[in-house]
Every structure is written in structure tokens, then in C-alpha cells.
Structure 1
Amino acid sequence: MTAKTPATTTAQRLLKDREEVAERLLQASVRHSFDPERELDWEAPFDEGKWFWPPELLSLYGTPLWRDMSDEQRRLLARTESAALASIGIWFEIVVMQLLLRHIYDKPVTSKHVRYALTEIADECRHSMMFSRFLAKSGTAVYPVSPFIQNVTRIFKSCSNTATSLIFTLLCEEVIDWMQRLTFADDRIQPLVRGVTRIHVIEEARHVRYAKEELRRQMAESGRLERRLTCAVTGELARVFARAFVNPNVYPDCGLDRRTALAQVRASDHRREVLRKGAARLSALLDEVGALDSRGRRVWREAGLL
């Protein structure tokens, strides 16, 4: 009888672990999946006294501009930034769906890992429709990412390796998830916004688990060259995220000077602390799996994520 090599044993263990994680996630999906069309009251009017986003999480909170803004302007900024986040959310979900389809393209179609990926894609479809309906109801403009980000991402989603695809997914999910956990529990916030963020948080928790476990497996199996590539791209993803996370068009739409607002956001210690807290779990994971080198850490600091 031929003895198994250590490499073969490790590969089989990783595949077994992959199926066990997928099985648990599939079971959780059966128990905790939501239809936003039925779960949320889309016909109820907005409450005039409620915020659309926690003021402490707004980009200008604590800046000189914020101190000079009227309460009406601050609430308008909250409404506009919540719409910008919903717009980014749709862009992000569409990219993630394409990355997931690439990931499972050559995987065994009867595996639980593939079945869960298809389940997650269905979740992301519902999330995109939910964000779209919220945007239509909010009465604000739609805030797509810039043409530059759109085209850079077009290349990335076609050429990225699996590890960097997962890191991109986690970067967007973890920061927004941290903010949404503070939002859906906050009774100052519009009931519809709390409902949207609650559904998203519960379902995204599964998506984050799937991505984190697969990233660990991918990094464990990758060679030196692929690890170097992953580290290089991970650093650049921070630049893309920082440029996409707040759409500068929200400021003139709130009666503010775009250049002044952007300068104050970039100089804001409070804003950097919000981003650091949002990215803390991911940055710890990237250190654990060896996906952040010294250059990547410098770029993440410049982007406010470390």
C-alpha cells in the first residue's frame, strides 16, 4: 500500500474542512435568510425626526465644517451618505457575484462548497435589489463609483487570483459590516435603514465566514511567488477602497465645497479611527495569513485602515 505524502494529506484535509464549513453555512442559510420585499415595510413614510445614518459615522463628523453646519445640513448629509453607501453596496455586490462565479467555475458542481457559493450569490442578488429599492425610496441621487474605479475593478475582477478576490470581498464587507452593526441597533435611525442593515448584517456574517476560511486555505497552499503577488495587490486594494468609500459628489449636493470637505475628511483623526476600527478584524487576519508585507502596511496606513 502506498503511503500518502504530507502534501496529499494536507490537500485532502483542506478539502474536507472546506466541505464541513460549507455544510454549516448552508444550514445557517436555511435558518436565517430573508426576503426584503416581505420583511421590510417599504410603504411606510420616513420619520422626520430620525437620522439616515449615525452622525458619528459620517465622514465630516467632528471636523470644522461639521461644527459650522446646521442640524438640517447634518441630517441631509446623513441621508446623502447613506444613499452613497447603498450605491457603493450595489457596485460591490455585483463585483463579488462575478468573483464568486470565477471561483467556482472549475470546482466540482455537486460539492457543498459550490452549493454555498451559489447560495451566497442569491443572497447578494437580494441585497442589491434591496439597496436599489432603498435608493429609489430615499429620493436622493445615485452615487456610482468613478469611471477610474469602475475600470480598475473591471480589470481586477477578470484577472485577480483567488486570495486577492477574497481580500477585496472582506475589505468591503468588514468595514461596512462594522458600521451597520452600530446602525441597526441605534433607535435614532430610520426604521427602514435599521431593517436594511439588520438583514445585511445577519446574512453577510455567513459570507464573511466563507471568505475568511477560504482565504486561510488559499494562503496555506500558495507558493512564494503567489504570496508576493497577493501582498502587492492587497496594498493597492486599500487605495481603491479609500477612493471609493466616500463619493465626493455628496458634498456639493449638501451645499458644501467639495475641495474643502475632502481636505477636512482626509485630515480627520476621528474618520481615521472609524476606518481603523472597521478594518481591525481584517487587518489582524491578513497579518495572520501573511497577506500584508511592509509596503502593504504603509499603504493601508496612508488609506487610514491601520
Structure 2
Amino acid sequence: MALSISRPDTTPQPAEAGVARRLLDSSAQLSYDPLTEVDWETPLDTGYHGASPEWSTLYGTAYWNEMTEEQRRALTRQEAASVACTGIWFEMILQQMVLRDIYAKDPTDDTFQWALTEIADECRHSIMFARGAKKLGAPAYRPPRVALELGRLFKTVAFGEAAYAAILVAEEVLDVMQRDWMRDERVAPFVRTINNIHVVEESRHMKFAREETRRHLARAGRLRRSAHAVVIAIAAYVIVTSMVNRKVYANAGLDEERAVREARANEHHKAMLRSSCAGLMEFLGSVGLLTGPALYWYKRANLI
């Protein structure tokens, strides 16, 4: 009687499937439940900042120098809450774009399953950000109406590299600032935990977004690449300029008009944004998405 020997499947797998399998394995080994990992019960200690002071939109301005430490801490708490609310807004856009991308694809495929894993992560992150903003004593900050409507259009029509590169832009900008915040002992402990969770889990999302951007661009013609380069840059501009709502200043007890004026002219904050995006810009340049028209929008957003 002959024995039947099973052989390993040596069928070559697409590169993106290999990446997806590694990300699924990583997610299984290291993921968090914010409902139990974050200390939601301890009352807010107003002796802490909500973000590293150096990341405040007013840090280094004449107004900042006039503020008391209490006012500075109140401002960074409002700014951190605004960034969290903007994160929720874009994560909702992201989830819809990813769902649309995998619609009717093979559910047994690792890439499909990773996409659903990423969406599950983003759902938890959005709840975490919402609870964090509430604990910081902030209202529900929302992007300006124009940004909301542009987001509504973008999530409906963006596809391929335009969707995934825009996802990457939002995640990369948040990643660098949150790495600073999570290590900063001046920042409220529960905020540091939130940032740590987001940094760990978003690192996998950024890896996937880079791979998907490369994959889609591999079959994109010059016209499509050029058009999408501009679309991605405009999306980056809208995201970055919506991160800190102007109402944070009044809610921190400051003169809103003066604060907005000084924040817009703050060269320190512009330099922080540029430094945070150095790796992102290098990637976009390497895949041909830093065209002349695109650079115009990145410069307007102070990302380059």
C-alpha cells in the first residue's frame, strides 16, 4: 500500500499577501484593548499637559511666553483633544475607503482579512480617542464645514494609491508627534497610554498603506499618477490644517483671535511639522508623488 505524503504548498504568493500574513501574525501577538489598558477611572489631574508643550501651536510665540503654566497645560489638553477628534474624523474616512477597496474580494485571502483587522483596530482607536477627548474636558471638535464636505467627497471617490497614500499621510503625521507625547512625563499618564497603543498598532497600518501605495502605482500611468499626486497633497493639506480647531484657544481661556494670528505665524510649529514629515516626503518622492503641483500644497501645509 503506497503512502500518501503531503507536500508543503510552494505556490508563489503575491508580495502583498506575504505582508498581510506577517501583519496578521503581528496583530495576534501584540494588540491592545483600550477599554482595559487605559486608566479611565482616575480623575483628570490638571497638573499634566495633554501633549508635549513643544508641539503646541503657540509654543515659542510671544503669547506663549506671557501664559502661566496652568494656561499652557490647559491649552495642550485642548489641542490634544482636537487632534484626537480629527483622528476620529479621518479614521471614519479610512474605514470606508478600505471597505470599498476589498468589497467582493476573496475573503479567504490574507490581504482581505488584514484589511478587516485594520478596520477593527480603527474602530477601537476612534472610541479610545473619543473617551480621551472627553476625559481631557474638551468638547467634540470638528473640522471646518469645507473640510467635512471634502472628506465626504474624498471617501466616496478616492481609490488605489490616492486612498492608501492619503491614509499614510494622516497616520505618519500623527505617529511622530505621538511618539514624543508617549515618552513625555509631563503628559497625563492616560494620554501617554493612548498614544502608545496608537503608535504600536498604527505601525502595522502604515506598513500596509506603503505596500498598497506601491502596488497600485506599479500599474498607474503617468496621467493618473500626476492627478493622484495632487489629490493626495490636497488631502494632506486639509488633514493637517484641520488638526487643531481654532476654538481650542477660547476653551483654554485665551484670546482666540490673537492666538490664531500668532499660531499661523509660528515658525517653530512649522518646523516641527516639517521634521515630522521628513520620512513621509522621502517615501512620496521615491514613488513619484512629489510633483510640482503637489509640492505647492505640501508647502502650504508646512510639510516640506
Match of 2:156 in 1: 158
Whole-angstrom distance in 2 between the partners of 1:217 and 1:138: 40
| Contact 1:83–1:138 (8 Å) recurs in 2 | yes
Q: Which residue of 1 aligns with 2:117?
A: 119
Q: Which amino acid aligns with 2:285?
A: D
Q: If each structure's helix is expressed as a fraction of its own residues, which one has the higher value?
A: 1
* Unmatched 5+ stretches in structure 2: 1-10
Which residue in 2 is equivalent to 1:167? 165
Secondary structure of the residue that 1:122 maps to in structure 2? helix
Tell me the distance in 2 between the aligned counterparts of 1:59 and 1:249.
Answer: 13
Alignment of 1:52-201 (within 5 A): 52-201=50-199
Contact 2:170–2:236 (CA<8 Å) still a contact in 1?
Answer: no
Could you tell me how far apart the structure 1 residues matched to 2:260 and 2:137 are? 24
Q: Flag structure 1 segments of 5+ consecutive residues without an equivalent.
A: 1-11
Give the CA deviation at 1:119.
0.3
In the alignment, the residues of structure 1 paired with residue 40 and residue 297 of structure 2 have an alpha-carbon distance, to the nearest angstrom, of 41
The yes-or-no answer on 1:45 pairing with 2:43 is yes
Task: State the SS of the aligned residue for 1:245.
Answer: coil
Deviation at 1:113, TM superposition (A): 0.4
CA contact (8 A) 1:81 1:250 kept: yes
RMSD: 1.5
Contact 1:216 1:289 in 2 (8 A): yes
Aligned to 1:250: 248
Distance 1:269 1:159 in 2: 35
Q: Tell me the secondary structure at the aligned position of residue 245 of structure 2.
A: coil
Q: TM-score, normalised by structure 2?
A: 0.93
- After TM superposition, list the pairs within 5 Å mapping 1:192-231 onto structure 2: 192-231=190-229
| Cross-structure match for 2:4 | none
Q: TM-score, normalised by structure 1?
A: 0.92
Deviation string, structure 1 residues 1-40 (Cα, Å, up to 9, x no partner): xxxxxxxxxxx98x71010000000000000111111112
The answer to whether the 8 A contact 1:77-1:250 is kept is: yes
Segments of 4+ in structure 1 off by > 3 A? none
Could you tell me how far 1:243 is from its partner in structure 2?
Answer: 2.5
> In the alignment, is residue 268 of structure 1 matched against residue 266 of structure 2?
yes
Alpha-carbon distance in 2 for matches of 1:232, 1:193: 34
- Matched residue, 1:17: 15
**For the Cα contact (< 8 Å) 1:55–1:61, is it kept in 2?**
yes
Equivalent position amino acid for 2:119 in 1: I
Which secondary structure does the structure 1 equivalent of 2:242 belong to? helix
1:45 Cα deviation from its structure 2 partner: 2.2
| Distance across 2 between alignment mates of 1:160 and 1:140 | 32
Give the Cα separation in 2 of the matches to 1:155 and 1:298: 22
- Alignment equivalent of 1:238, drawn from 236, 239, 251: 236
Q: Does the Cα contact within 8 Å between 1:53 and 1:183 map onto a contact in 2?
A: yes
**CA-CA distance at 1:73 after TM superposition:** 1.1
Answer whether contact 2:97 2:159 (CA < 8 A) is retained: no
**Equivalent residue number for residue 5 of structure 1:** none
Provide the identity percentage.
41
Deviations 1:219-263 (A, max 9, x none): 111112211211221231233123212111111222323332222
Quick check: 257-266 or 80-89, which moved more? 257-266
Contact 1:234 1:292 survives alignment (8 Å): no
1:78 Cα deviation from its structure 2 partner: 0.9
Deviation at 1:86, TM superposition (A): 1.3
Question: 1: CA distance between counterparts of 2:188 and 2:259?
Answer: 25
Task: Tell me the distance in 2 between the aligned counterparts of 1:18 and 1:106.
Answer: 18
CA distance in 1, matches of 2:244, 2:35: 28
Give the corresponding residue for 2:7.
none
Distance of 1:155 and 1:246 partners within structure 2: 22
